[in-house]
Amino acid sequence: MRSLKFRFFLGALAIIVLTLIGSVLVFNISLSRYFSDYQLRETARQLEDFEQHLESVYQETGDFSRVREEIRDYTAYYNLIYHPAPGPAGQDDRGGMMRDDRGPPHHEYQDHGPHHDHEDRQKRRENMMHDMPEEGFEIYVDNNYMGLITWPQHDDRSALAAEIDERTEEFVSDVYRFMIPLTAGLIIVAALLTYYLGSRLAGPLNRLVAAVSKLREENYDVEISVARTSELKALSEEINQLGNRLKYLERVRRESASDFSHELRTPVNNLLNYVTALEDGILEPDEETIAELKEETRRLVELSGRIKDLAAAEKKIHDMNMSSTNLQDMVNEIDRVFRSRAEEKGLDFKSSFSLHKEVIKTDPEALRSIIQNLLSNAIKYTDEGGEVEFLVRSIPQDELLIAVTDTGMGIDEEDQEMIFERFYRTDDSRSRDTGGSGIGLAITKELVEALNGEIDLESSEGGSTFTVKIPLQKSRQK
């Protein structure tokens, strides 16, 4: 399989070579036409200079015969053919032009009279420029038609046309002797430059391919730095983010399996020990033993519920559904529900909302779960007579700030680093009394990170404050 660098090299080189060849062909056609036109105009200019000379001769002598003699000498010297107009001055007694039977076969002398002024002749000559080698050049002196100068015919072509073609061919050949080495040099330079650019492009792409291969092999420690172009840089950043995301999800998967195994082992072992003791007669099937069996069974049921909650949370983390959400309606609804719960427990529930954007783009289920988990924990771990404060703000830099403060038991400093770990509980007996599952804050943290946000904890004896910051995306209200 040919590499991208090789294919890029061949493709770019082919385009350059074809472009150069096409340019040379177009240049050849344009150059030939231009040089031919140049020679025609130069020949016409020389004849017009000669015509001016004849004007001077006539002004000095006033004799058309002397003018005709000058024309014959000129044409004889340059091997041209002179077809004089009839009459000494090109006019008959009536002032009109006479036909000259000695004129060239394809040329008519009618309408060549004094009424053709200089401007008319110039326009006529411009229009007939390309026909001049075959039709000839008309000579006028003092606005009198003196005759026609033509070139000898060879092989049904005039000598002027043959001479122009020959000179054009020689000129183009001289140009080609310069152009061919130059074109070859340009092709070599283009080949080297294309190869260099292909290497520069293929290098970052090869690193990107290697990174994707590592991801496929479940090696998520990927870090690529590409600064060649904005597109490749953006692609490398996406792959880096993908690697970090997959690494995080893999850690979540392993931790889930490990946590589930650890949590399941304790109640199962306790049940097994009770059953074995009953079989061996060590314990009697009294109310206390049955109560212990029920408690361990309840723990298993609770664990299965926690695992279900965890699976649902992980599914949400894997599949965030960003959509336009009315934030004002959401926080008002949550406020009503948890205010009622807090009042039932005898708590003072305070709330404060300051939203510059009512409609935002987010995952409404994830955001709702984050707020509900924080409020549930605050109410759960705050004793009767305490206070819970619920704060939501839209802050500068397009961030959403959510803060939940309680006056509960607080969290010890050594426990704060572990509080967001799955199945971690600061005090097992307290968790049982309050019904804590040990996964609420873990789920909350993972949902916050899935929304590219961050969560912080400040806690001391007498209360805790959980603060969440989530970047907002602008959304049009429909």
If DSSP states are collapsed to H, E and C, what string results for the chain? CCCHHHHHHHHHHHHHHHHHHHHHHHHHHHHHHHHHHHHHHHHHHHHHHHHHHHHHHHHHHCCHHHHHHHHHHHHHHCCCEEEECCCCCCCCCCCCCCCCCCCCCCCCCCCCCCCCCHHHHHHHHHHCHHHHHHHCEEEEECCEEEEEEECCEECCEEHHHHHHHHHHHHHHHHHHHHHHHHHHHHHHHHHHHHHHHHHHHHHHHHHHHHHHHHHHCCCCCCCCCCCCCHHHHHHHHHHHHHHHHHHHHHHHHHHHHHHHHHHHHHHHHHHHHHHHHHHHCCCCCCHHHHHHHHHHHHHHHHHHHHHHHHHHHHHHHHCCCCEEEEHHHHHHHHHHHHHHHHHHCCCEEEEEEECCCCEEEECHHHHHHHHHHHHHHHHHCCCCCCEEEEEEEEECCCEEEEEEEECCCCCCHHHHCCCCCCCCCCCHHHHHHHCCCCCHHHHHHHHHHHCCCEEEEEEECCEEEEEEEEECECCCCC
Lowest mean pLDDT among 7-16, 274-283, 325-334, 386-395: 7-16
pLDDT category of residue 90 using cuts at 50, 70 and 90: very low
pLDDT, residue 227, reads 60
With contact defined as beta carbons under 8 Å apart, do 367 and 451 qualify? Answer: yes
pLDDT, residue 99, reads 36
Q: Which residue has the higher pLDDT, 95 or 473?
A: 473
pLDDT, residue 119, reads 64
pLDDT, residue 95, reads 37
- Using the predicted structure, report yes or no on whether residue 249 has a pLDDT greater than 70: no
pLDDT category of residue 331 using cuts at 50, 70 and 90: very high
Lowest mean pLDDT among 73-77, 247-251, 295-299, 446-450: 247-251
388-404 pLDDT, tens digit per residue, is: 999 999 876 688 999 99
- Using the predicted structure, report yes or no on whether residue 1 has a pLDDT greater than 60: no
Q: What integer is the mean pLDDT of 273-286?
A: 81
- Using the predicted structure, report yes or no on whether residue 22 has a pLDDT greater than 90: no
pLDDT, residue 378, reads 93
Q: Which is nearest to 349 in space by CA: 281, 402, 404?
A: 404
Dist CA 459 CA 438 (whole Å): 18
159-189 pLDDT, tens digit per residue, is: 888 888 888 888 878 777 877 788 788 888 8
Q: Which residue has the higher pLDDT, 438 or 131?
A: 131
Q: Mean pLDDT, the chain, as a whole number?
A: 78
With contact defined as beta carbons under 8 Å apart, do 447 and 317 qualify? Answer: yes
Q: What percent of the chain has pLDDT over 90?
A: 20
Q: What integer is the mean pLDDT of 441-448?
A: 87
Q: What integer is the mean pLDDT of 196-203?
A: 73
**470 burial level (CB within 10 Å; 0-12, 13-18, 19+):** buried
365-381 pLDDT, tens digit per residue, is: 999 999 999 999 899 98
Q: Which residue has the higher pLDDT, 478 or 344?
A: 344
pLDDT, residue 91, reads 44
pLDDT, residue 112, reads 46
Q: What integer is the mean pLDDT of 329-351?
A: 95
pLDDT, residue 21, reads 78
pLDDT, residue 100, reads 40
Dist CA 370 CA 447 (whole Å): 7
Dist CA 382 CA 407 (whole Å): 6
pLDDT, residue 341, reads 94
Dist CA 65 CA 69 (whole Å): 6
Dist CA 252 CA 246 (whole Å): 10
Q: What integer is the mean pLDDT of 78-92?
A: 72
Q: What integer is the mean pLDDT of 253-270?
A: 71
- Using the predicted structure, report yes or no on whether residue 202 has a pLDDT greater than 80: no
Give the torsion through C-alpha atoms of 238, 240, 243, 245, to 10 deg: -70
Specify whether the backbone of 425 is left (phi greater than 0), alpha (psi in -120 to 50) or beta: beta
Q: Both ends of the chain: CA-CA distance in Å?
A: 51
pLDDT, residue 409, reads 83
Q: For the chain, what are the domain ranges? A: 4-161, 218-319, 321-478
Q: Which residue has the higher pLDDT, 239 or 396?
A: 239
> Could you say which architecture CATH assigns to the domain 321-478?
2-Layer Sandwich (3.30)
Q: How many residues does the chain have?
A: 478
Q: What percent of the chain has pLDDT over 70?
A: 77
pLDDT category of residue 255 using cuts at 50, 70 and 90: low
Query: Based on C-alpha coordinates, what's the Rg of the chain?
Result: 50
Q: Are strands 144-150 and 81-84 parallel, antiparallel or unpaired?
A: antiparallel
- The two tokens of residue 304 are 């299965």
The CATH label, of 1.10.287, 1.10.540, 1.20.1260, 2.30.30, for the domain at 218-319 is 1.10.287
pLDDT category of residue 430 using cuts at 50, 70 and 90: very low
Q: Are strands 454-460 and 81-84 parallel, antiparallel or unpaired?
A: unpaired
Most confident of 141-145, 199-203, 209-213, 389-393: 389-393
Residue 343: which residues within 8 A CB-CB, separation 6 or more?
A: 349
